[in-house]
Amino acid sequence: MKFLEDCPVQPLIPLYLLVGGVVGSLKVTLLLYDSTRMRQLLSKSVVIDDDDDDEYPWRQNAHKGGYESAAKHFNPADVEVDVAGRSFLVTGANSGIGKATAKEIARRGGTVHLVCRNKERAEVAKEEIVTETGNQNIFLHIVDLSNPKEIWKFAEKFQNEHKLNVLINNAGCMVNNRELTEDGLEKNFATNTLGTYIMTTALVPLLEKAADARVITVSSGGMLVQKLNISDLQSGSGPFDGTMVYAQNKRQQVVLTEQWAKAYRNIHFSVMHPGWADTPAVRSSMPDFYERMKNSLRTEAQGADTVLWLAVSAEATKLPSGLFFQDRQPVPTHLPLAYTHSPPEDEEKLMEVLEEFSQKFKSVSPGV
């Protein structure tokens, strides 16, 4: 394998990041030894070696070309289904992958609950979905996923008024400077990790009443550079790198999914990497990366394809609960020799800490 000269070397912390891309006709794999430089190196042509893709099937191209290659093996019938009568909740549904997912579910007759933070943009998204699909069973809920008290209040009300078959945790953020919410929580952690935890656990009782219940969480391949770190969940120590904080949150989501799969056997849990897609979030959070890679990025619909497949396909639930997916296939959550495995006690501790946070905010939730 050939390394570029500007790849930093810190042998004591070898970290691998798989990022699909195209340089000429060659597939690209990034081998990073310093995770703090991921953002800069993401936009460069780095390690080029496609000799052993057949030997290592986890080398999946996360860009547009990779999707197009993978899609040749998709069975269209998997998602050509009627889901009328089933209820889906999609967070972060006013744009990007969330909206694309909601739209495709609506086309198939599902009842779709859009959970969004910005009311104005959410109403525009709802109108677009209803107009394009003809499905009138689209409902809007305004919730700030960085505010745990709001999530609890919403979930408690939702359980009394609706049924739910499928929860899609899509909402997320990448804030590049350390910001605290009104509750004193670091904003990325509050939204990506704690918000996902509360939304899911609060709705588990409702999901357990449903037939073929599923929870899908949209993570990111960026988590492959991160080992679970429970010592600094709110990123208060050392320099703040929003990209790495986001990647850590996405690793936490993978751990959450694995733990939930063990705890709730009547619900099918999955977590997935949508690939690198051209979404408003990518444009705003990673502008340099977007400018360099925009011609190779997946469309929003391509990024949403595996979310849709996991949400509606009968094939998805034939696979074990708790797996990590890309392009309708389960893929490893760790790369070889990457030293990102964490001990079981750390994973259990993460769940304990999040439950403590969760209950703290539930206890002060209005109406409780």
CATH number at residue 297: 3.40.50.720
pLDDT score of 276: 73
Residue pair 289/240 in contact by the 8 Å Cβ criterion = no
**Residue numbers of the domain that contains 231:** 60-360
In a domain, 234, yes or no: yes
pLDDT score of 207: 98
| Catalytic site includes residue 33 | no
The first and second tokens of residue 206, run together, are 């409702």
How many alpha carbons lie under 13 Å from residue 125 in its C-beta half-sphere? 31
From CA 207, how far away is CA 195, in angstroms rounded?
17
- 3 state DSSP class of 267: strand
In a domain, 85, yes or no: yes
pLDDT score of 27: 31
pLDDT score of 116: 97
Catalytic residue among 16, 67, 197, 246: 246
From CA 92, how far away is CA 99, in angstroms rounded?
8
In a domain, 239, yes or no: yes
pLDDT score of 281: 65
Q: What stretch of H or E contains 167?
A: strand 166-169
Average pLDDT by consecutive 10-residue portion of the chain (368 residues)? 30 34 31 40 33 36 80 96 98 95 98 97 97 98 97 97 98 93 97 98 98 96 93 94 94 98 98 79 64 76 96 98 96 90 97 97 60
In a domain, 11, yes or no: no
Residue pair 20/61 in contact by the 8 Å Cβ criterion = yes
In a domain, 42, yes or no: no
pLDDT score of 58: 35
Angle between helices 242-263 and 344-363 (to 10 degrees): 90
Q: Tokens 């609960």 label which residue?
A: 321
In a domain, 367, yes or no: no
In a domain, 9, yes or no: no
Amino acid type, 5: E
pLDDT score of 297: 85
From CA 171, how far away is CA 253, in angstroms rounded?
12
* Number of separate domains in the chain: 1
The first and second tokens of residue 313, run together, are 């396909």
SS (H, E, C) 74-121: CCHHHCCCCCCCCEEEEECCCCHHHHHHHHHHHHCCCEEEEEECCHHH
From CA 300, how far away is CA 100, in angstroms rounded?
6
Residue pair 361/148 in contact by the 8 Å Cβ criterion = yes
The first and second tokens of residue 96, run together, are 């990007």
In a domain, 5, yes or no: no
Residue pair 162/113 in contact by the 8 Å Cβ criterion = yes
From CA 30, how far away is CA 289, in angstroms rounded?
14
The rounded Cα 143 to chain-centroid distance in angstroms is 18
From CA 325, how far away is CA 142, in angstroms rounded?
29
